[in-house]
Amino acid sequence: MAEPTIARKSPFVQQVTPGTYYWCACGGSKTQPFCDGSHKGTGFTPLKVDLTEAKTVAWCGCKHTHTPPFCDGSHSKL
């Protein structure tokens, strides 16, 4: 499988409300950190995330996290 595109070397920190989110795994989405369908034909698929409470989330922006879709600091090693 190909390597994902690094959207940015820092997390996308956001206040989120309960709901379903689709995290972009390929790095090509224009609506980072969420999927816009840019992955079609790449072998990547977005990751569905169901959040049950309002909270602050640090979505991975480098797409190399070991805890997708959340940032684990992997961007500091790229």
Q: How far apart are CA 25 and CA 34, in angstroms?
A: 9
Helix and strand numbers (H, E) in the chain are 0, 4
Taking only the tens place, the pLDDT of each residue in 49-70 is: 999 999 999 999 999 999 999 9
Residue-level pLDDT at 2 = 86
- The number of beta carbons lying within 10 Å of the beta carbon of residue 32 is 17
pTM of the model: 0.94
Q: How far apart are CA 64 and CA 78, in angstroms?
A: 9
Q: Which residue has the tokens 């961007």?
A: 75
Provide the token pair at 24. Answer: 């972009």
